[in-house]
Structure formats: structure tokens, C-alpha cells
């Protein structure tokens, strides 16, 4: 999932609940490509989306829900000397694996990247064109609203709404909650994922989530919102969602910013039907850090 380039000025210490990693201007980490796999082909409705695994050798520490910056020199020169001599811009991408990586050895991380259709020289295309063994320079990690709150008793309730590559931070969190063998705390709360997609073929990581659901039916809910009908899914479950929010649940939205107007209209409609003043409720949710949005 790619985020706006403006966040390149954000420092780790500025972010809530980020690990205590010192970020120094100009510092970058070198990673090696382990795998580039196409999740959705160019004709899948949303364009080509790639699953990319990078080996950082255990040097890049992060927590679920954070993002990193991928550096791409404008002239295409990937020599290490070039990286060290110049202040380089980078694009930000949500990390799609838990802190221990898909292999749970603490040495890799995963990105979920959509190929850009309008610019042949974009960082996203650079990533999708990578081959096993290629070197990729990254910065970070950076905090963000998708980082789950610290929950020693693991009883929090989380409602996660995603479209397309916005699934990345939620895959990261779900992997940590239910799959990562190094996670010490057993999750006894609720993780409710509403995943928007054009069609079944463009549902990202669907088989993976379904498998986790089969093993954790009491604590994970996985809902597929086809035709990107996430607003319809929210409305259908409006009473339950509002009850959970009133009880302190967190709700997260990640994906294209075009989804948010319809979602906000839906919440206002549900609120009116329940006799709730939505503007006041939204202000309260934001103040309590329960309403978290990472749209691009």
C-alpha cells in the first residue's frame, strides 16, 4: 500500500506507539529481494498488485501497522555511494507482514504494491519489476494510525475496513494476532475485517484470511465486500458497529481516499436512525483515538 510522499518528513519519535528506534536523517537500510509474486494480474479489475518480500537480515525493527520509505534515485543509479551522498526522496508503503515476517524468523518484511498505470518511472513500478537478489534501500520505520494500541490483556476490539492494497496493515496485524508463533499474548478480543474488492479475483490474501478464520472463529470476523461495497457492509452491520464503538472498540480505514465520503455518509445515516448526533459522536471517537484513517 503506497502512501503520500509528504510523510517523508515524519520522524519515528513523532508517531504514537512506535518502537524506540532512533531515526537519523540520511540513514537508510539495505534489503535484498526474496520474492516478487503477482497477487492480481493486470486484468484483475484493479490493475496488477504484487506481493514483495524483502530480507533485512534482522536489522530493520518495526511493529504491525507501521510503514516504511522506499528510496528510488531519479536517475536510476542504485549505487550505495549515490545513496550516501544525496538527500533522496522516497515513497511510503505500509508493511504487510508482522514484525517477524511471513517466515517468522525476524529477518524479512512484506509489501503489497499496486503497479502504477500512469507513470512508467514510479517507485511502485520499480518495486513490481524487481527480481530475486536485487537490492532495495528503505528508510524508517514510521508510525501511523494503523498501529494497534498496546493491549496487555489482548481484549480490545478492532474493526478494520480496507480497499485494495489498504489491506496491508491489517494483514500485518492479523498475522501477529493469530499466526506469529513469537507473539506471547493470546488474543481474546475481536478483529473484524471488512475487505473491499471489485470481485473475488481481486480479493487480496483471501485464502489466507479464510484459513485463519477457520482456526479462530470466536475472535476473527472476515467479511468480503465485493464491488467495493464497504459502505453497504457497514450499513448492514450498523447497529453492531455502533454498539462496539460505544463500548470502546477501535475502527480503522485504509485504502483509497475515495472510499471515505461514502463511508461518512453511511455512518451519518446509521446515527440518524439511532437518534445519535453523528458530528458529536465522530468528534468523541477522534478524541479517544478510536477513529483511525490512513487514506491515499
pTM (2 decimals)? 0.87
226 and 263 belong to one structural domain? yes
From residue 150, alpha-carbon distances to 119, 132, 181 in Å are 39, 36, 19
- Lowest-confidence range among 73-77, 105-109, 175-179? 73-77
pLDDT tens readout for residues 218-240: 999 999 998 879 999 999 999 99
Residue 77 or residue 112, greater confidence: 112
Region for residue 167 given its phi and psi (left: phi exceeds 0; alpha: psi -120 to 50; beta: otherwise): alpha
Say if CB 249 and CB 159 are below 8 A apart.
yes
133 and 28 belong to one structural domain? yes
9 and 137 belong to one structural domain? yes
14 and 131 belong to one structural domain? yes
For residue 266, give its domain range.
157-295
C-alpha grid cell, residue 147: 498501529
Contacts of 9 (CB under 8 A, 6+ apart): none
Say if CB 133 and CB 36 are below 8 A apart.
no
Domain final residue pick, 82, 117, 142? 142
Domain final residue pick, 90, 110, 142? 142
275 falls within a domain: yes
Mean pLDDT of 58-64: 95
Total domain count, the chain: 2
103 and 166 belong to one structural domain? no
87 and 168 belong to one structural domain? no
Mean pLDDT of 86-106: 87
162 and 280 belong to one structural domain? yes
Q: What whole-number distance in Å separates Cα of residue 52 and Cα of residue 56?
A: 13
- Lowest-confidence range among 14-28, 79-93, 209-223? 14-28
Region for residue 255 given its phi and psi (left: phi exceeds 0; alpha: psi -120 to 50; beta: otherwise): left
150 falls within a domain: no
Percent of the chain with pLDDT over 70: 81
Amino acid at each position: 500500500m503506497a502512501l503520500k510522499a509528504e510523510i517523508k518528513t515524519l520522524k519515528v519519535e513523532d508517531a504514537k506507539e512506535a518502537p524506540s528506534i532512533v531515526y537519523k536523517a540520511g540513514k537508510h537500510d539495505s534489503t535484498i529481494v526474496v520474492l516478487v509474486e503477482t497477487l492480481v494480474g493486470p486484468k484483475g479489475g484493479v490493475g496488477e498488485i504484487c506481493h514483495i518480500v524483502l530480507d533485512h537480515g534482522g536489522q530493520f525493527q518495526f511493529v504491525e501497522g507501521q510503514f516504511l520509505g522506499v528510496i528510488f534515485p531519479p536517475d536510476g543509479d542504485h549505487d550505495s555511494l549515490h545513496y550516501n551522498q544525496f538527500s533522496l526522496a522516497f515513497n511510503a508503503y505500509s508493511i504487510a507482514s508482522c514484525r517477524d515476517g511471513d517466515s517468522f524468523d525476524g529477518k524479512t518484511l512484506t509489501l503489497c504494491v499496486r503497479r502504477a498505470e500512469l507513470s512508467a518511472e514510479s517507485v511502485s513500478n520499480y518495486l513490481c519489476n524487481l527480481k530475486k537478489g536485487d537490492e532495495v534501500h528503505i528508510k524508517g520505520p514510521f508510525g501511523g494510525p494503523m498501529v494497534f494500541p498496546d493491549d496487555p490483556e489482548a481484549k480490545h476490539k478492532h474493526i478494520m475496513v480496507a480497499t485494495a492494497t489498504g489491506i496491508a496493515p491489517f494483514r500485518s496485524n492479523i498475522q501477529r494476532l493469530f499466526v506469529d508463533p513469537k507473539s506471547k499474548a493470546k488474543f481474546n478480543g475481536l478483529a473484524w475485517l471488512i475487505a473491499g474488492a471489485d470481485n473475488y479475483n481481486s480479493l487480496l490474501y483471501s485464502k489466507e484470511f479464510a484459513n485463519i478464520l477457520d482456526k479462530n472463529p470466536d475472535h476473527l470476523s472476515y467479511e468480503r465486500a465485493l464491488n467495493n461495497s464497504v459502505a453497504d457492509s457497514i450499513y448492514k452491520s450498523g447497529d453492531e458497529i455502533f454498539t462496539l464503538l460505544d463500548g470502546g472498540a477501535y475502527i480503522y480505514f485504509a485504502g483509497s481516499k475515495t472510499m471515505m465520503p461514502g463511508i461518512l455518509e453511511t455512518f451519518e445515516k446509521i446515527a440518524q436512525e439511532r437518534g445519535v448526533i453523528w458530528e458529536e459522536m465522530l468528534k468523541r471517537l477522534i478524541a479517544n483515538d478510536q477513529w483511525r484513517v490512513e487514506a491515499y
